[in-house]
Structure formats: C-alpha cells, structure tokens
Amino acid sequence: MLKRFKNSKIIRSNNAWVELIRTYLVGAFNLVLGLTISFTFQFYILTFISFPLRTYLTNIFGFSIGVVVSYFISRKIIFQLPIFKGSFKEFVSFTFINLINLFGPILIWFLINLINNSYQSDEMWFLVFTVLINGIILPIKYLLYKFFVFKDSL
C-alpha cells in the first residue's frame, strides 16, 4: 500500500497542477503547525502582553519558526528537490517571499482590529480568520516559489 502511494501521480508528477495540489497539502501541514504555534503563543505564552501587540508578536514568532520548516518541506515535497541542497540565496528568496505570510496577516489583523477588536481575543474567531487568511495567500506563494525561488533548482 505504501509503495503504491509513493508511486502515485500526486507524489511523482511534476505537472503544475499536481505541484499546486502538493502545495495545498504542504500548506495544510504548515497551517496546522502555524496554528499550533500561534495558538500557543497567543493564549499561553504571551498572555502578559496586551492586545493587539500580542497578536502581532504571535505572528512574528509563528513566521520565524514556520519559514524554516516550510522551506525544507517545500523543497522536498512540492518540488521534489533534495532537501539540503538548496543555496543560501534560495533560502533568502524563500524567506523574502514568505514575508507575505508575516505582513499579510498583520495587516489584515490590523484592519480587523479597526472593525472589531474582540475577534483576536476570541479563540474560535482567531482560528477562523487565520485559516481564511492563509488559504487566500497560498496560491500566490506557490507561483512565486515556482518562478522565482526554486527556478534555478528545477
């Protein structure tokens, strides 16, 4: 069964649509990791800091941890490249592209705070908005990865 899965079209193909599907699978993993990190910082670790600063710091810590994990997973799973053979320049480009994941949510949370600041202190709304924000950003990042970050390795 595992051998069949490893040889499936989703795993082996380098078709752009299949890569996009793998991007969403990796994105789902990264989202769960990011939500776990964000939730932990937002509601357990940074509780001594008031809102909205706590939400902004939560996004910064989540970004810092997530970008490193995401780089290696993206190389291996999305683009099927050797996990440790990327260049420093590639990692810097990847990090720069991922600033979308840092500043996009911070900007959106700033706007949400202007409308209703209770959303970021409510656990359910915090999760809902975080999932929506990241789901919208993901296809944009895939295109930037493919045509700017990993183009020399592909």
pLDDT tens profile 59-88:
889 888 989 999 999 999 998 899 888 899
pLDDT tens digits for 99-132?
887 788 888 888 988 998 888 888 899 888 888 8
pTM beyond cutoff 0.75:
no
Per-residue pLDDT at 10 exceeds 60: no
Spell out the domain ranges in the chain: 15-149
- Kindly report the backbone phi and psi dihedral angles of residue 48, in degrees, each rounded to the nearest multiple of 5, phi listed first: -80, -5
Instruction: Report the mean per-residue pLDDT for the chain.
Output: 85
CA distance linking residue 76 with residue 140, whole number of Å: 19
CA dihedral 40→135→67→87, nearest 10 degrees, is 170
Query: Considering only CA atoms, which of 73, 49, 58, 63 is closest in space to residue 101?
Result: 63
CA distance linking residue 10 with residue 21, whole number of Å: 8
Cβ neighbour number for residue 86 with a 10 Å cutoff: 21
Band (pLDDT 50/70/90 cuts) for residue 17 is confident
What sign results for the dihedral spanned by CA atoms 46, 71, 104, 20?
Answer: negative
Band (pLDDT 50/70/90 cuts) for residue 92 is very high
